[in-house]
Chains A and B, each alone.
Chain A
Amino acid sequence: MKGNNLVALYTLCRKEIVRILRIWSQTILPPAITMTLYFVIFGNLIGSRIGQMGGFDYMAFIVPGLVMMSVITNSYGNIVSSFFGAKFSKHIEEMMVSPMPNWVILFGHVLGALARGLMVGGIVTIISLFFTQIQVHNYWIVISTVVLTSVVFALGGFINACLANKFDDIAIIPAFILTPLTYLGGVFYSISLLPDFWQTVSKFNPVLYMVNAFRYGFLGVSDVSLTVAYSIILTFVVVLTAICLYMLNKGIGLRS
């Protein structure tokens, strides 16, 4: 990697992280409050009546899912708002006229999204400690699944931002695709509770594999095979990266 590209990457990453911290009341605080409410309502009030799930207290069972849900929504939301915002107010041109390679533009934004995903994920994890005890079965699985999942949704958000022409376009995907996939991706339940048909349907949901692999890292239990989960996540990373770079090279949604 050329020194110039490293400087550009550092600049872009720094800018993204400064942005996240500058508008912390929009980026960090809301997910922290939302997740606290989830813990209180689903974990404490309703969870105490549910009893155990997958051999664990319901609260302990949903913590990995809720952490992953906040990582997914914040990684996606960060890149989509930052990149589309830059496109909308035209300061994306600052990057486009510079000799910064396209992969640096992509990687810089993805690292920014990853930073926010991990910041929020970390805060949610800390909040969960007020409600339950957390055990970690395998740190490497926890770290690798959270990083890779954040990258997957950052890449997805980047594609959304490139193709979006108006603010409605960046609201549709989170509302109609991301939220249903996350809620139905085993955040709040084990798919073993579902009838066979819906178990099969659930297995077409990629978020299920991400949530379960992450949960395995904490609790050592999963509804899906870890190998399959990693294969799916890595496939998404590779395919979405290729799509993003193709779009940047062709200037799709960016150049007239």
Chain B
Amino acid sequence: MNLPKYLNIMTAALKVSNLKKTYKNGTVALKGLNLEVEAGEIFALLGPNGAGKSTLIGIISSLVTASSGDVEVFGDNLTKQRNKVKSHIGLVPQEFNFNMFEKPMDILVNQAGYYGVPRKTAIQRAEKYLKQLQLWDKRKSMSRMLSGGMKRRLMIARAMMNEPKLLILDEPTAGVDIEIRRSMWEFVEEIANAGTTIILTTHYLEEAEQLCKNVAIINHGEIIKNTTIKQLLTTLDIETFILDLDKKPEADLLKALNAEVTDENSIQIDVPKSKALNESIKTIDEMGYKVLSMRNKVNRLEELFYKMTQEQKNEGE
């Protein structure tokens, strides 16, 4: 892959140092947060509601003023070179924030204009992104008439109008159906392959697992974990499976596997990583049952994420 010139420079796409934010009402949103995102990657930023994700994104995109600390985007300092930093960034916020009485085409062309993109080029770009995000047919509709999924895609298209080096997606797939979500994932992967660095916050943790290489978990205004998703998943020592059997499980089977009944013919078992799943299946077989199908009970990352934030909560108490 031929990376754009700016990616050849050994500069982090985003470097956040000791970032603090206390709101006027006294709420401490960020407590000296440090974070580095490599150029060219899709980076997951996870955290429960109120963890500080949106505040962090707000500061990076100049919507929120930091109390102290430093933010650098591709080596440019936010405080000293704010407009230069802004020109590097595209933002897809959590809430719909476009004029509902304007048409998608106008919203995109105007957004490009704010970045100094001449109107002719802006119209060409708008056509490109509206088509890529399957909104071309709706270009002349009133934006308020679009469905929730279309509105989300419109915000992604808008964020692309300045062809940013760093795209921040704050829960971009919230409330969209699985088909659209997958097409949005494809689009995100496409633009990442073209060299755009992406920071993704999401509540669909399978999304982070699917798209991202590195992850930071933020809670109570601090990064509590910053590692690769692969590394993070190795710390999960138990996996939970649902097994569908050919007949109703008896008490002796449940006792032997330390399993729970989830449905008439289904059981749930916890399998430590140190133990092979084969052993459990062998036990089932020996006791005269057949496994018809098998699946993970929950998303692994979700389980881990829940565990980590709960641990931090318990430590706090």
Among the 9-residue stretches B4-12, B59-67, B204-212, B251-259, the one with 4 or more Cβ atoms under 8 Å from chain A is: B59-67
Instruction: Name the one of A5, A7, A15, A95 contacting B118, with C-beta atoms under 8 angstroms.
Output: A7
**B93 CB-CB contact with A under 8 Å:** yes
**B198 CB-CB contact with A under 8 Å:** no
**A96 CB-CB contact with B under 8 Å:** yes
Among the 9-residue stretches A45-53, A66-74, A97-105, A175-183, the one with 4 or more Cβ atoms under 8 Å from chain B is: A97-105
In chain B, positions 21-55 with a C-beta closer than 8 Å to chain A are 23-24
Are the C-beta atoms of B97 and A99 separated by less than 8 Å? no
Instruction: Name the one of B61, B64, B100, B106 contacting A89, with C-beta atoms under 8 angstroms.
Output: B100
Are the C-beta atoms of B86 and A98 separated by less than 8 Å? yes
Residues on B with C-beta less than 8 A from A11 are 109-110, 113-114, 119
Closest-CB distance, A225 to chain B (whole angstroms): 43
Q: How big is the B interface, by class?
A: 35 or more
**B283 CB-CB contact with A under 8 Å:** no
Are the C-beta atoms of A255 and B114 separated by less than 8 Å? no
B98 (CB) vs chain A CBs: closest residue: A91
On whether A8 and B114 interact (CB within 8 A), knowing A89-B97, A91-B98, the answer reads yes
Are the C-beta atoms of A94 and B64 separated by less than 8 Å? no
Are the C-beta atoms of A96 and B113 separated by less than 8 Å? no
Residues on B with C-beta less than 8 A from A8 are 113-116
B158 (CB) vs chain A CBs: closest residue: A94
**A256 CB-CB contact with B under 8 Å:** yes
On whether A96 and B62 interact (CB within 8 A), knowing A7-B117, A8-B115, the answer reads yes
Residues on A with C-beta less than 8 A from B118 are 7
**B312 CB-CB contact with A under 8 Å:** no
In chain B, positions 84-100 with a C-beta closer than 8 Å to chain A are 84, 86-87, 89, 91, 93, 95-100
**A86 CB-CB contact with B under 8 Å:** yes
A-B contacts at CB below 8 angstroms, number: 85
**B111 CB-CB contact with A under 8 Å:** yes
Main secondary structure of the interface of B (DSSP, over half): loop
On whether A86 and B99 interact (CB within 8 A), knowing A93-B93, A101-B83, the answer reads yes
Closest-CB distance, B146 to chain A (whole angstroms): 15
**A4 CB-CB contact with B under 8 Å:** yes
Are the C-beta atoms of B84 and A99 separated by less than 8 Å? yes
Are the C-beta atoms of B65 and A255 separated by less than 8 Å? yes
Residues on A with C-beta less than 8 A from B58 are 256
A101 (CB) vs chain B CBs: closest residue: B83
Are the C-beta atoms of A15 and B110 separated by less than 8 Å? yes
Are the C-beta atoms of B115 and A4 separated by less than 8 Å? yes
Residues on A with C-beta less than 8 A from B86 are 97-99
Give the distance in Å from the alpha carbon of A15 to the alpha carbon of B111 in the complex: 11
Instruction: Name the one of B61, B100, B109, B110 contacting A97, with C-beta atoms under 8 angstroms.
Output: B61
Give the distance in Å from the alpha carbon of A4 to the alpha carbon of B113 in the complex: 8
Give the distance in Å from the alpha carbon of A255 to the alpha carbon of B59 in the complex: 10
Are the C-beta atoms of B110 and A255 separated by less than 8 Å? no
Closest-CB distance, A79 to chain B (whole angstroms): 16
In chain A, positions 82-129 with a C-beta closer than 8 Å to chain B are 86, 89-91, 93-101
Are the C-beta atoms of A97 and B63 separated by less than 8 Å? yes
Are the C-beta atoms of B84 and A97 separated by less than 8 Å? no
On whether A98 and B115 interact (CB within 8 A), knowing A255-B64, A255-B65, A256-B64, the answer reads yes
The 9 closest A-B pairs by CB, nearest first: A4-B116, A11-B113, A98-B114, A90-B97, A99-B83, A99-B86, A99-B87, A91-B99, A7-B116
Q: What are 28 residue pairs bridging A and B, where the CB atoms are less than 8 Å apart in the complex?
A: A4-B115, A4-B116, A7-B116, A8-B115, A10-B113, A11-B113, A11-B114, A12-B114, A15-B106, A15-B110, A89-B99, A89-B100, A90-B97, A91-B97, A93-B91, A94-B107, A94-B110, A94-B114, A97-B63, A98-B111, A99-B82, A99-B83, A99-B116, A251-B65, A255-B64, A256-B23, A256-B24, A256-B63
- A: which residues have CB within 8 A of B? 2-5, 7-8, 10-12, 14-15, 18, 22, 86, 89-91, 93-101, 251, 255-256
